[in-house]
């Protein structure tokens, strides 16, 4: 995820316009006019042999004649000239180029030229870039753009123009407005990295149609979303829309899963997008989901309540004390309930008294204030005084407030007042609830991103056996395995399947049934008939030899008549599982063209249509992520009501999902897995029918995954100087409690050396950021000692965080203060140096304090350059990883 060239694109110091023109409808004229009108204060260099000056600026006849190399060039000429002009720009030393239009067949040549000259490209077919804080309008947009803190990145020029027009009317400003076009080079993941660090950007809005690299997108999005809210609108949900957009086909539910996993928020349509922009512009941290609705009329409150319930929102419940205070004020007016109907004769005083009580209450997380046009409480004056109340009340900034001033003419000024005060305001009750639920969903996704995951104590896996069985099948040319064949593979991952036997004909089926006991089930074995129901290929609850014989003969006869070319490999015979009070579920793993393997969970008794009947998640799963998948399936009715006698064991089902996830990660040859059904009976989970599809796999097994899994191959047993053993391994999200205990055993002096300030306590969010790392862009190794009772303790930690270009990394190391002298610090640093060198990094950098003589001595022994900067009170440490370096 290279940041090279992005500074020159988004904060250029000079711009060349290639093909500048004085003809009003030409791209070169529009670009020059917008650049000059935007207030850009650097040199603008129009290049054209046709004019002496364009828009009052002296021109240059060609690229070689430019007086210096521009940071940014914009190609405004006919697309056939692109390759030659881009080559000339590269030769001149230009850093970045916006290509407004190009033919698809030119793409490989343009990318090759840019790579040769180390130049970055935006586009082709890009609308351009607007950066109001820099006075930059390098775009076709005729709409002026205000300064703001919202960044917008779009893959559609049409959507970009629509948003610009809408934002101008709403007076919403932007920090950056970037139209990607075809994303031949610069893509959304790089821009996320840039915008995450930009101090003028407080929130990011993305309009996406496709991804070139799902891993890079999810990695960048997870990192950026820890610091700033990010909203996504993704078009092309249906296959026909994907065809229209010429994007890769993929399951829309997989997009949902990726967006949720990265801690982002997805909005569904353009209307929601506009609402979300309004919300983002005034986004505050949501402290909880409990909402109180107050209104001067029952009807708008009812519309809001309907929308809230449809979106699974939560109403706050009033405590006895709050009810009494409200009753003292409103007792003769209305029933004390939520929503609170103040009636259409509500005065401004009634509004203010009610709000004061609710703000005092600690059972309220959020307030929705509805105001219908009223003579007794004029809209503008009401808005002004409510804003004053929120400013002066101690909890005015702690409670999330959204407002709905209904109507158009009479509420226009009031909505302006709310926007200027940073309070979200909307035209309709339903739109206000939609906006509030955007906040709630974002809050939930962020909470999920930061929750401490849990490890299951009962996960056993024999990966070597599973891989051997899979490779044997592939070697024999068997690429579709049924329940009988896949059973030993699943058992090697602790998954329980119902025992199965194979019968060649009806006589053998009768013999097997007699051996295993009645009742039994018979199932057709044929790799050519994917849905056995098409030939009534499954017969259940057969209780006698005659029933088994008749059923077997009937199945084989039906296949011979309706599928004469199908290969028949006999019949499966199974004991009937006890289904009383149990639930039939289904787990499917498929390979999505964009996000790789996805895990789907739903009912086993319905025929699935794509992802419509399933909740979807991306592997790898841990127990927390699997639990979220189960809860999501229940809340969205993908898994329906359960028997009260045998409620669904959510923890047990989560464990099954984690076992499936581990199997998929460790066995890249698996293309599809279909468990149909999974019988859930209390805490017992039995796989009744399973189909496994295989394909040979070569290359990096992690390359197919959108999220890099835990790198188990980096685990290493180590013997310390005192003879004790420990394990060096990458940090896990589940390490948070152990990391907290480890920090508690480090002296304040050592913590001061590490963090350059006095640390009294690390918050949960601090610890989550340290343990829930993206192994693609950060690595932390922990030294762990295992105790006989199964407990683990962390003895030391070393960490490297690379820049997005994967060139330099900042490192740190910390060893428990009572364990110094055992060689842990050196061994951990050697482990980190080896990893970063193998990972392609070029340099390790760190800083410490002059008093930290132990760290300075260790750095010298390991070959670091040590630069003591006494005037700044720091010592700079650096190590070149790609070549030998003289020790100081």
SS3 at position 331: coil
The answer to whether residues 860 and 888 touch, using CB atoms and an 8 Å cutoff, is: yes
Instruction: Tell me the pLDDT tens digit for each residue of 507-522.
Output: 999 999 999 888 989 9
DSSP letter, residue 881: S
Q: Which residue has the tokens 């464990």?
A: 655
Instruction: Tell me the pLDDT tens digit for each residue of 583-623.
Output: 889 999 999 999 999 999 999 876 776 667 899 999 999 89
Neighbour-count burial of 788, counting CB atoms closer than 10 A to its CB (0-12 exposed, 13-18 middle, 19+ buried): exposed
Task: Quickly state the pLDDT bin for 11 (edges 50, 70, 90).
Answer: very high
Q: Residues 348-359: what's their mean pLDDT?
A: 94
Least confident interval from 30-39, 64-73, 433-442, 659-668: 433-442
Task: Provide the pLDDT for residue 813.
Answer: 92
- Residues constituting the chain: 888
DSSP 810-824: EEEEEE-GGGTTSSH
DSSP 118-181: T-EEE-SS--EEEEGGGTEEEES--S---EEEEEEEES-HHHHHHHHHHHHHHT--EEEEEE-T
Look at residue 333 and tell me whether its pLDDT is greater than 80: no
Look at residue 888 and tell me whether its pLDDT is greater than 50: no
Look at residue 644 and tell me whether its pLDDT is greater than 60: no
Instruction: Tell me the pLDDT tens digit for each residue of 767-800.
Output: 888 998 888 889 999 999 988 887 889 999 999 9
CA distance 879 to 888: 11
Q: Residues 304-333: what's their mean pLDDT?
A: 90
The answer to whether residues 663 and 488 touch, using CB atoms and an 8 Å cutoff, is: no
3-state helix, strand, coil in the chain (%, to 5): 40, 25, 40
CA distance 376 to 196: 47
Look at residue 1 and tell me whether its pLDDT is greater than 50: no
CA distance 549 to 511: 10
CA distance 232 to 236: 13
CA–CA distances in Å: residue 648 to residues 238, 354, 613, 675: 33, 43, 18, 17
Look at residue 68 and tell me whether its pLDDT is greater than 90: yes
> What does pTM read for this prediction?
0.87
Task: Quickly state the pLDDT bin for 452 (edges 50, 70, 90).
Answer: low
The answer to whether residues 354 and 326 touch, using CB atoms and an 8 Å cutoff, is: yes
Instruction: Tell me the pLDDT tens digit for each residue of 856-884.
Output: 999 999 999 999 988 888 899 999 997 54
Closest of 17, 1, 89 to residue 51, by C-alpha:
17
| Mean of the per-residue pLDDT values of the chain | 89
CA distance 110 to 888: 45
Q: Which residue has the tokens 């070549």?
A: 883
Instruction: Tell me the pLDDT tens digit for each residue of 477-505.
Output: 999 998 889 999 999 999 988 888 999 99
Instruction: Tell me the pLDDT tens digit for each residue of 419-446.
Output: 889 898 888 999 899 889 988 888 888 8
Residues β-bridged to residue 810: 801, 845
CB contact set of 463 (below 8 Å; sequence gap of 6+): 492, 666, 667
Least confident interval from 123-127, 143-147, 184-188, 431-435: 143-147
Task: Provide the pLDDT for residue 884.
Answer: 46
Residues β-bridged to residue 127: none
Q: Residues 638-662: what's their mean pLDDT?
A: 83
Instruction: Tell me the pLDDT tens digit for each residue of 225-251.
Output: 988 889 898 876 677 776 776 677 778
Q: Residues 358-371: what's their mean pLDDT?
A: 93
Neighbour-count burial of 651, counting CB atoms closer than 10 A to its CB (0-12 exposed, 13-18 middle, 19+ buried): middle
Task: Provide the pLDDT for residue 443.
Answer: 84
Task: Provide the pLDDT for residue 92.
Answer: 97
Domains with residue ranges and CATH for the chain: 1-125 (3.40.50.720), 141-281 (3.40.50.261), 285-450 (3.40.50.261), 712-880 (3.40.630.30)
For residue 527 the two structure tokens come to 């790799």
Task: Provide the pLDDT for residue 886.
Answer: 41
Half-sphere exposure of 772 (CA within 13 A, CB side): 27
Percent share of the chain, pLDDT over 70: 94
Q: Residues 19-44: what's their mean pLDDT?
A: 93
């Amino acid at each position: 995820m290279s940041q090279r060239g992005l500074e020159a694109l988004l904060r250029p110091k000079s711009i060349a316009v290639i093909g500048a023109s004085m003809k009003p409808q030409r791209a070169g004229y529009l670009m020059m006019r917008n650049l000059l009108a935007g207030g850009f204060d650097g040199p603008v260099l129009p290049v054209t042999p046709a004019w002496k000056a364009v828009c009052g600026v002296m021109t240059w006849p060609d690229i070689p004649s430019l007086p210096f190399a521009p940071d940014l060039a914009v190609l405004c000429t006919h697309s056939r000239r692109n390759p030659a002009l881009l080559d000339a720009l590269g030769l001149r030393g230009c850093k970045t180029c916006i290509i407004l239009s190009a033919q698809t067949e030119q793409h490989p040549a343009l990318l090759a030229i840019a790579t040769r000259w180390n130049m970055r490209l935006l586009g082709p077919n890009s609308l351009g870039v607007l950066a109001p804080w820099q006075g930059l309008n390098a775009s076709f947009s005729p709409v002026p753009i205000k300064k703001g803190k919202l960044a917008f990145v779009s893959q559609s020029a049409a959507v970009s123009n629509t948003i610009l027009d809408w934002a101008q009317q709403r007076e919403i400003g932007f920090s950056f407005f970037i139209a990607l076009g075809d994303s031949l080079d610069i893509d959304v993941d790089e821009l996320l990295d840039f915008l995450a660090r930009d101090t003028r950007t407080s929130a990011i809005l993305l309009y996406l149609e496709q991804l070139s690299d799902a891993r890079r997108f999810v990695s960048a999005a997870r990192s950026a979303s820890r610091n700033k809210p990010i909203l996504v609108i993704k078009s092309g949900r249906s296959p026909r829309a994907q065809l229209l957009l010429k994007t890769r086909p993929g399951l829309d539910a997989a997009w949902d899963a990726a967006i949720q996993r990265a801690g982002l928020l997805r909005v569904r349509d353009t209307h929601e997008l506009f609402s979300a922009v309004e919300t983002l512009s005034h986004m505050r941290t949501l402290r909880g989901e409990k909402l109180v609705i107050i209104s001067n009329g029952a009807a708008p409150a009812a519309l809001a309540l309907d929308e809230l319930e449809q979106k699974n929102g939560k109403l706050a419940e009033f405590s006895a004390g709050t009810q009494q205070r409200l009753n003292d004020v409103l007792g003769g007016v209305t029933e004390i309930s939520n929503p609170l109907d103040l009636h259409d004769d509500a005065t401004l005083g009634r509004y203010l008294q009610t709000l004061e009580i609710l703000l005092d209450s600690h059972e309220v997380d959020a307030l929705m204030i509805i105001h219908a046009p009223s003579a007794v409480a004029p809209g503008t004056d009401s808005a002004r005084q409510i804003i004053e109340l929120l400013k002066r009340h101690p909890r005015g900034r702690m409670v999330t407030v959204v407002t709905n001033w209904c109507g158009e003419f009479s509420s226009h000024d009031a909505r302006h007042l709310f926007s200027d005060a940073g309070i979200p305001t909307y035209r309709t009750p339903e739109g206000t609830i939609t906006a509030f639920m955007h906040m709630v969903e974002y809050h939930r996704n962020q909470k999920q991103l930061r929750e401490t995951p849990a490890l299951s104590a009962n996960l056993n896996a024999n990966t070597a056996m599973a891989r051997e069985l899979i490779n044997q099948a592939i070697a024999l040319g068997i690429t579709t395995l049924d329940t009988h064949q896949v059973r030993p593979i699943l058992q090697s991952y602790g998954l329980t399947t119902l025992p199965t036997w194979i019968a060649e004909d009806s006589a053998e089926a009768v013999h097997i049934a007699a051996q295993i006991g009645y009742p039994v089930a018979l199932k057709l074995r044929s790799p050519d008939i994917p849905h056995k129901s098409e030939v009534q290929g499954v017969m259940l609850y057969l209780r006698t030899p005659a029933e088994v014989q008749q059923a077997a003969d009937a199945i084989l006869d039906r296949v011979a008549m309706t599928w004469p070319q199908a290969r028949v490999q006999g019949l499966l015979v199974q004991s009937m599982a006890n289904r009383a009070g149990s639930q039939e579920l289904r787990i499917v793993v498929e390979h999505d063209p964009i996000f790789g393997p996805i895990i789907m969970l739903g009912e086993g008794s319905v025929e699935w249509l794509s992802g419509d009947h399933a909740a979807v998640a991306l592997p790898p799963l841990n127990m927390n992520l699997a639990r979220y998948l189960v809860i999501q399936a229940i809340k969205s009715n993908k898994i329906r009501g359960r028997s009260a006698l045998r409620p669904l064991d959510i923890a047990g089902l989560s464990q099954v999902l984690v076992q499936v996830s581990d199997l998929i990660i460790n066995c890249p040859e698996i293309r599809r897995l279909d468990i149909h059904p999974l019988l859930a009976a209390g805490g017992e989970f039995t796989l009744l029918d399973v189909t496994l599809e295989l394909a040979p796999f070569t290359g990096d097994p992690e390359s197919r995954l959108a999220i890099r899994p835990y790198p188990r191959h980096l685990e290493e047993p180590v013997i310390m100087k005192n003879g004790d053993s420990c394990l060096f391994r990458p940090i896990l999200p589940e390490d948070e409690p152990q990391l907290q205990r480890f920090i508690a055993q480090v002296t304040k002096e050592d913590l001061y050396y590490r963090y350059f300030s006095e640390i009294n306590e690390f918050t949960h969010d601090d610890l989550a950021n340290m343990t829930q790392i993206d192994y693609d862009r950060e690595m932390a190794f922990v030294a762990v000692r295992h105790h006989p009772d199964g407990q683990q303790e962390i003895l030391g930690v070393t960490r490297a965080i690379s820049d997005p270009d994967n060139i330099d990394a900042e490192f740190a190391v910390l060893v428990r203060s009572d364990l110094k002298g055992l060689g842990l610090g050196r061994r951990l640093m050697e482990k980190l140096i080896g990893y970063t060198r193998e990972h392609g990094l070029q340099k390790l950098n760190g800083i410490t304090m002059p008093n930290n003589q132990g760290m300075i001595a260790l750095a010298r022994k390991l070959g670091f350059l040590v630069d003591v900067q006494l005037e700044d009170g720091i010592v700079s440490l650096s190590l070149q990883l790609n070549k030998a370096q003289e020790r100081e």
